[in-house]
């Protein structure tokens, strides 16, 4: 993994192409407000546009100067798009859980019956080409996995802040650059014959994957959504260890390589500990300080589950048809 900036990718509609052109040309984005308000919140155009705008707060792009991060014209468009996305999430969840117990309870009991998740699929019948597709998709998430969660740290106090910092310390390698979890995932990609460059597979990723990354950026960039970000973080940590165990078995069965195995082996152990810290200290500490945020924490968890289930359905349906789950096929393994 390296620190170089990714390049821009072609747009997938009026809005995303307007963002690409604006970043390339150093000018305000040219779009109609009607296009922004009627865009499908789950669609390729809106999700790519939102991803590109959020990426300005991470590493940016080779074609864009750093000052574009706070360009008021880009921020105005971003606000329209993320409002549509947030409204769609709230509408989809409707009468979803509004308490931590209701939101997290089902996640604490792993069913004995095989579920429809991608990790179950890969463990039971996945092939090496499917593992490569999964890693390429997830690279947009895992190569920045812990970064947006750090934005919540200055918005927390006491137990919640200390617990969050403790877990994030592990995510960033406990002081060892070679053990940063994003670096471990880059090593996994190398084992699978993939390019570990940051953002390399953006053009391959469908909207259903971009939405999972955009969700944590949305929650992380808004102080008003700090409760939702904690809910997202807790959901990820609670579900990570069982899913990582299944993916570890899949990597071993398919002979993916030692680095590929190590990433998931690390998460089986570490996230089992993290789950307890997050539930008791981060979530418990936040609600002790700000009990009014409980519904937001539950929403963050429910939104995460919703988008992960949508992604699982897309990926496994494509694989059941023996088709790629990507927008573009991967090149052969190096």
Q: What's the pLDDT score for residue 110?
A: 60
Q: Output the domain CATH number for residue 132.
A: 1.20.910.10
If asked whether residues 24 and 123 sit together in one domain, one would say no
Q: Which of 73, 93, 113 is the last residue of a domain?
A: 93
Q: What's the pLDDT score for residue 112?
A: 40
Does the structure show a pLDDT above 60 at 208?
yes
Answer with the residue of higher pLDDT: 19 or 145: 19
Q: What's the pLDDT score for residue 113?
A: 43
- Pair 100, 291: CB distance under 8 Å: no
Instruction: Convert the pLDDT of each residue in 105-142 to its tens digit.
Output: 988 776 544 467 999 999 999 999 999 999 999 999 99
| Element at 199 (helix H, strand E) | none
Q: Which of 61, 93, 125 is the last residue of a domain?
A: 93
Longest CA pairwise span in the chain (Å):
55
If asked whether residues 57 and 151 sit together in one domain, one would say no
For residue 330, being part of any structural domain is answered with no
For residue 333, being part of any structural domain is answered with no
pTM of the model: 0.95
If asked whether residues 30 and 174 sit together in one domain, one would say no
Instruction: Convert the pLDDT of each residue in 321-332 to its tens digit.
Output: 999 999 999 988
User: What is the domain extent for residue 196?
Assistant: 100-320
For residue 334, being part of any structural domain is answered with no
If asked whether residues 192 and 242 sit together in one domain, one would say yes
If asked whether residues 27 and 154 sit together in one domain, one would say no
Instruction: Convert the pLDDT of each residue in 5-51 to its tens digit.
Output: 999 999 999 999 999 999 999 999 999 989 999 999 999 999 999 99
If asked whether residues 89 and 104 sit together in one domain, one would say no
Q: Nearest to residue 229, comparing CAs of 213, 210, 212, 216?
A: 216
DSSP for 104-133, please give it.
HGGGGS--SS--S-HHHHHHHH--HHHHHH
Does the structure show a pLDDT above 90 at 1?
no
For residue 329, being part of any structural domain is answered with no
- Pair 55, 143: CB distance under 8 Å: no
How far apart are alpha carbons 42 and 209 in whole angstroms? 10
If asked whether residues 20 and 124 sit together in one domain, one would say no
Confidence of residue 333 (pLDDT cuts 50, 70, 90): confident
Residue with the two structure tokens 């939101």: 103
Q: What's the pLDDT score for residue 108?
A: 79
Does the structure show a pLDDT above 90 at 272?
no
For residue 117, being part of any structural domain is answered with yes
For residue 303, being part of any structural domain is answered with yes
Q: What's the pLDDT score for residue 175?
A: 92
Answer with the residue of higher pLDDT: 112 or 276: 276
Question: Could you give the number of structural domains in the chain?
Answer: 2
If asked whether residues 137 and 156 sit together in one domain, one would say yes
If asked whether residues 66 and 215 sit together in one domain, one would say no
For residue 60, being part of any structural domain is answered with yes
Give the chain's mean pLDDT: 93
- Pair 225, 85: CB distance under 8 Å: no
How far apart are alpha carbons 62 and 185 in whole angstroms? 23
If asked whether residues 117 and 178 sit together in one domain, one would say yes
Q: Which of 93, 126, 151 is the last residue of a domain?
A: 93
State the CB neighbour count (10 A cutoff) for residue 237: 24
For residue 1, being part of any structural domain is answered with no
Does the structure show a pLDDT above 70 at 224?
yes
If asked whether residues 56 and 104 sit together in one domain, one would say no
Confidence of residue 269 (pLDDT cuts 50, 70, 90): confident
Angle, helix 72-93 to helix 44-55, in steps of 10 degrees: 130
How far apart are alpha carbons 304 and 212 in whole angstroms? 7
Mean pLDDT (whole number) for 56-79: 97
If asked whether residues 277 and 153 sit together in one domain, one would say yes
Give CA separation, 112 vs 125, 248, 289, 302, in Å: 18, 18, 37, 22
Instruction: Convert the pLDDT of each residue in 183-198 to its tens digit.
Output: 999 999 999 999 999 9
Classify the C-alpha dihedral 128-310-213-98 as positive or negative. negative
Does the structure show a pLDDT above 90 at 274?
no
């Amino acid at each position: 993994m390296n620190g170089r900036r990714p390049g821009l990718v072609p747009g997938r509609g009026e809005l995303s192409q307007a963002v690409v052109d604006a970043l390339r040309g150093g000018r305000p984005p040219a779009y109609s407000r009607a296009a922004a308000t009627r865009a499908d919140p789950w669609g390729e155009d809106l999700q790519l546009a939102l991803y590109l705008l959020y990426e300005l707060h991470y590493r940016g792009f080779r074609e864009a100067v750093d000052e574009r991060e706070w360009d008021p014209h880009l921020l105005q468009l971003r606000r329209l798009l993320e409002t549509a996305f947030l409204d769609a999430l709230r509408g989809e969840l409707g009468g979803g859980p509004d308490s931590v117990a209701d939101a997290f309870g089902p996640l604490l009991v792993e069913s004995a019956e095989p579920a429809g998740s991608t990790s179950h699929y890969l463990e039971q019948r996945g092939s090496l080409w499917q593992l490569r597709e999964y890693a390429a998709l997830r690279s947009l998430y895992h190569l920045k996995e812990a970064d947006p969660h750090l934005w919540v740290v200055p918005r927390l106090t006491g137990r919640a802040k200390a617990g969050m910092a403790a877990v994030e310390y592990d995510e960033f390698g406990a002081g060892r650059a070679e053990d940063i979890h994003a670096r471990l995932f880059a090593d996994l990609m190398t084992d699978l014959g993939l390019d570990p460059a940051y953002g390399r597979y953006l053009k391959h990723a469908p909207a259903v994957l971009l939405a999972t990354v955009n969700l944590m950026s949305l929650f992380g960039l808004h102080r008003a959504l700090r409760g939702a970000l904690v809910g997202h973080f807790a959901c990820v940590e609670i579900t990570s260890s069982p899913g990582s165990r299944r993916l570890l078995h899949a990597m071993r069965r398919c002979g993916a390589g030692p680095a590929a195995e190590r990433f998931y082996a690390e998460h089986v152990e570490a996230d089992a500990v993290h789950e307890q810290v997050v539930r008791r200290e981060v979530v418990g500490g936040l609600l002790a300080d700000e009990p009014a945020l409980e519904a937001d924490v539950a929403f963050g968890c429910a939104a995460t589950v919703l988008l992960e289930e949508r992604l699982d359905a897309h990926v496994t349906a494509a694989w059941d048809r023996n088709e790629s789950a990507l927008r573009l096929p991967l090149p052969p393994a190096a």
